[in-house]
Amino acid sequence: MATQKPIAKTNAGSIVQATIHQIKLPDLKDVLAKGIDDFMAHPTHLIFLIAIYPILTFVFAFTAANESMLPLVFPLLAGFTLLGPLVASGMYEISRRRERGEPVSRWHVFAVLKTPAILSLATLGVASLAIYLVWLGAALSLYTLIFGDAVPATVGEFARQVLTTGEGWILIVAGSAVGLVFAVAALSISAVSFPLLLDRDVGAAVAVFISVRVVVENPITMAFWGAIVVASLLVACLPVFTGLAVALPVLGHATWHLYRKAVEF
């Protein structure tokens, strides 16, 4: 079943018509299987390891040197779920090429930099980064509201403060609720907008409009998809973050196939 074609104008003034298909839970299993298949055919884990570890090293070194950053450790790391669609843009390009039977290698992850839609992708990337930064600000404000300006001197003291006090559990519950709001916003605007722009340069605004329509038309399925993404990234972080080198590419490839199932031009 498909919804009536939503109509919007691109930056050039042309009319875009896209059919939003109903996607079911079994479709998520299918897109994940295709994502794994794409990754196995063209593994990019070494590229992601080269990119991920310097970033994580910087985050931890900066946090260790600045005790005032301790309350932001979780929001900083959780930012992978908000920035993931942007980071995985190269995976969409590999899946797109493979689907079309075009020559493809792991190094085509960088071909996204040459796409005609690079400005639209950059615009969406800035929007995702803005959501991330606002979330960090909200997290810090919430911590200050509950605990005041005093900042724990060590990681152990911070853990005790959060896990063994009533105020700490208020922070956990309230912080999770605030994080959920930002996660839903990020999911809505980026569910399929990044791969859509690689497929068709309709402009950032139209891509976001269609992405939101996909989420609105498939709320339960997309909620499950969001949960799968968060759970996968959480598990991937456990073995010293090395799992991210597999989880991020697989989820990126799967997102391309999710877009192809959900949107038809």
> How far apart (Å, rounded) are the C-alpha atoms in residues 145 and 178?
14
- Mapping DSSP to helix (H, G, I), strand (E, B) and coil, where does residue 206 land? helix
Residue 10 in domain? no
Residue 17 in domain? no
> How far apart (Å, rounded) are the C-alpha atoms in residues 110 and 106?
9
Give me the helix-helix angle, 219-237 and 204-217, nearest 10°: 100
Residue 16 in domain? no
Torsion angle, alpha carbons of 251, 261, 180, 227, to 10: -50
Paired tokens of 179: 């994080």
Residue 248 in domain? yes
Residue 84 in domain? yes
Residue 210 in domain? yes
**Backbone dihedral angles phi then psi of residue 245, each to the nearest 5 degrees:** -65, -20
Per-residue pLDDT of the chain (265 residues; tens, 9 = 90+): 565 555 555 555 566 788 899 999 999 999 999 999 999 998 887 777 666 666 666 666 666 556 667 777 778 777 667 778 888 888 899 999 999 998 888 778 888 888 888 999 999 999 988 998 898 899 889 999 998 887 777 778 888 888 888 998 999 999 889 988 988 999 999 999 999 999 998 899 999 999 999 999 999 999 999 999 989 988 887 767 778 888 889 999 999 999 999 999 8
> How far apart (Å, rounded) are the C-alpha atoms in residues 1 and 19?
10
Residue 204 in domain? yes
> How far apart (Å, rounded) are the C-alpha atoms in residues 190 and 200?
15
Domain carrying residue 84: 28-101+108-264
Number of domains in the chain: 1
Q: What is the pLDDT of residue 153?
A: 74
Residue partners of 3: CB distance under 8 A and separation at least 6: 19, 20, 21, 22, 213, 217
Q: What is the pLDDT of residue 197?
A: 93
Residue 3 in domain? no
Q: What is the pLDDT of residue 65?
A: 58
